[in-house]
Chains A and B, each alone.
Chain A
């Protein structure tokens, strides 16, 4: 069964600290993996997209990694800011059709 699991479910960190969010998936055949940021009361917004051949991709203070062999991805946030407080959702696309598989998200709270 195609699934996407994220950990931790929630995380609280101090402003300025780094953190890493995890995503494990069983989706096959794999097409790509995306990380979305969802602010409270708003729709998800794409942060990064990674294909099978990509290991690392950065978007400012956000760095995503992908290990296609172990089917794991991580999102590393550097020097966190209060505005990073949001839910982060991992989404994996299946190569054969119109299927997107969503994780349940990690809720990140950055405190001063």
Chain B
């Protein structure tokens, strides 16, 4: 699992509340990613980071922000959660060879 953990693993929140998901890695990888996975859509990139304080948007970044103040932690924040953000969120790192990704266990988020 390349030493990737996500927290929380499950969360239920109400529309309009802020939510922060955490991804933690223990192997000093430079690239980290946040994806969401929904039925019929597969995995879609939200944001990614290529170093401390270096981040960029993915294809579905609206409504999400990220921060990376330390190499090991990549935070995903929903400033004001909406029902359309109900999904399973996966964090991933890019392996040292640069050709594959390793995924965390996922966070199931439900916005009511």
Residues of A within 8 A of B (CB): 31-32, 34, 41-46, 49, 51, 89, 91, 93, 98, 100, 102-105
Kindly provide the distance from the CB of A52 to the nearest chain B CB, expressed in whole angstroms: 12
Residues of B within 8 A of A (CB): 1, 4, 31, 40-45, 48, 50, 90, 92, 94, 99-106
- CB-defined contacts of B105 to chain A, threshold 8 Å: 42-43
Show 18 A/B contacts (Cβ-Cβ < 8 Å), sorted by A: A34-B99, A34-B100, A43-B90, A43-B103, A43-B104, A44-B103, A46-B102, A51-B99, A93-B99, A98-B48, A98-B50, A98-B94, A100-B45, A102-B42, A102-B43, A104-B40, A104-B41, A104-B42
Q: How many pairs of residues, A versus B, come closer than 8 Å at their CB atoms?
A: 44
- CB-defined contacts of B41 to chain A, threshold 8 Å: 104
- CB-defined contacts of B43 to chain A, threshold 8 Å: 44, 89, 102
> Is A103 a contact partner of B42 (Cβ separation < 8 A)?
yes
Given contacts A32-B99, A49-B100, contact A42 B106 (CB under 8 A): yes
Q: Which residue of A lies closest to B99 (CB)?
A: A32
